[in-house]
Amino acid sequence: MYVFGDSTLDVGNNNYLPGTNVPRANRPYYGVDFPGGVPTGRFSNGYNTADFIAKCIGFVSSPPPYLSLVAPPASSGGLLVPTALTIGVSYASGGAGILDSTNAGSTIPLSKQVQYFNATRSKMIAAAAGSSDALINKSIFLLLFGGNDLFAFANAEQAQNRSGADLESDTAAFYGSLVSNYSAAIRSLYALGARRLAVVNVGLAGCLPVARLLDATGACAEDRNRLAAGFNAALRSLLADDLAASSSSGLPGLAYSLADSLGLMADTFADPRASGFVDVADACCGGGRLGAEATCAPNATLCADRGQYYFWDNVHPTERAAALRAHAFYDGPAQYTTPINFKQLVHMS
């Protein structure tokens, strides 16, 4: 299993990035419910979405972060190749975008994550010769991107008071650049042997606690939800009409499952108690209005029952919400994945 994504999937790569602007989850209360109660770099109170998808497949947790396998002293011990050949590697990075310009300098963007996989594969081939390509062909490539790009774009448009035709034009160009970059990355991964893609779309960006702060009553920012829905439609079209093996410009042998994070969140938020949630608006760990005006830090306010909250901090799901997401995408109700679910992708011949 090879993991590409943002902070929803990051299991510690950002802990190894230099700089003061790098988003990190290396302090309490992050990891408060993780085995040992320690922060690991996951933006969660415990395990995250990548971990639970890995658990569904049969692993103990997400594969480890790439930078932990190449940083000293690991680099001298040669951990990268045996890990890549047996479990996989995670390249996911908090703050990462489909565009290199998103949070530039403080994250590992999609293009760089693909470069890191290329470097990993070269070492795998050198060590295991031909068998590594067959392994890569059968491996799951989990991808989750777009939220950070949407957040940066919406903030920039808001700051410039863009509206009407100007906003429509900007948005169309924005979607075009996202789809172009995502397509190029997937085609690069395909050239490197990827054949099974588990792709997660963008959730309800306007219902994150940090987005609800924009409204005096704490309501969801519907313009951001529409922005997410528009991107998701473009992503679905990219996969089905451009990249799928069945399309004229498609990639022979490519199989994919597209998970609908937005649809699942919408259903969960419409009837939270059906999923066991009491609060789907506030951050469990934070401070101020909606718990979203302050970061999750050692001096933050911490909710009493973390299992009843959908959001851990002002952006990320709790461990329990992540588990529900993973199970829905792996073998849950059919409406949350297309054209097959993650389990079918894993077990296809």
Beta-carbon neighbour count of residue 160 at 10 Å?
A: 11
Residues 85-96 have pLDDT tens digits of 999 999 999 999
pLDDT at 321: 98
Q: How far apart are the C-alpha atoms of 182 and 205, rounded to whole Å? A: 19
d(CA 164, CA 159): 15
Cβ–Cβ under 8 Å, residues 312 and 241: no
Distance between CA atoms of residues 146 and 241, nearest Å: 19
Catalytic residue among 6, 61, 313, 349: 313
192-238, pLDDT tens digit by residue?
999 999 999 999 999 999 999 999 999 999 999 999 999 999 999 99
Among this protein's residues, is 271 annotated catalytic?
A: no
- Mean pLDDT value across residues 8-14: 98
Kindly list the domain boundaries of the chain, sorted by start residue: 2-347
Q: What is the pTM assigned to this prediction?
A: 0.98
Q: What is the pLDDT of residue 77?
A: 67
- Amino acid in position 111: S
Catalytic residue among 6, 7, 51, 62: 7
Mean residue pLDDT of the chain comes to: 96
According to the model, what pLDDT value does residue 74 have? 67
Confidence band for 349, pLDDT divided at 50, 70 and 90: confident
The pLDDT confidence band at residue 246, using thresholds 50, 70 and 90, is: confident
Contact between 197 and 256 under an 8 Å Cβ cutoff? The reply is yes
Is residue 324 over pLDDT 80? yes
Three-class DSSP labels, the chain = CEEEECCCCCCCHHHHCCCCCCCCCCCCCCCCCCCCCCCCCCCCCCCCHHHHHHHHHCCCCCCCEHHHHHCCCHHHHCCHHHHHHHCCEECCCCCCCCCCCCCCCCCCCHHHHHHHHHHHHHHHHHHHCCHHHHHHHHCCEEEECCHHHHHHHHHHHHHCCCCHHHHHHHHHHHHHHHHHHHHHHHHHHHHCCCCEEEEECCCCHHHCHHHHCCCCCCCCCHHHHHHHHHHHHHHHHHHHHHHCCCCCCCCCCCEEEEECHHHHHHHHHHCHHHHCCCEEEEECEEECHHHECECCCCCCEECCCHHHEEECCCCCECHHHHHHHHHHHHHCCHHHEECCCHHHHHHCC
Indicate if 313 belongs to the active site: yes
The whole-number average pLDDT for the span 310-319 is 98
Q: Which of 10, 68, 257, 316 is catalytic?
A: 316
Report the share of the chain in percent with pLDDT over 90: 95
pLDDT at position 78 over 90 = no
Residues 262 and 232 sit within 8 Å (Cβ to Cβ): yes
pLDDT digits (tens, 9 = 90+) for 137-167: 999 999 999 999 999 999 999 999 999 999 9
**pLDDT one-digit tens code per residue, 247-270:** 888 999 999 999 999 999 999 999
Q: Using CA atoms of 76, 80, 82, 85 in order, give the dihedral in degrees to the nearest 10.
A: -160
Q: Supply 293's token pair.
A: 């005006």
Residue carrying structure tokens 């963007």: 109
Omega of the bond prior to 73 within 30 degrees of 0, cis?
Answer: yes
Beta bridge partners of 197: 141, 256
Q: pLDDT at residue 68 above 70?
A: yes
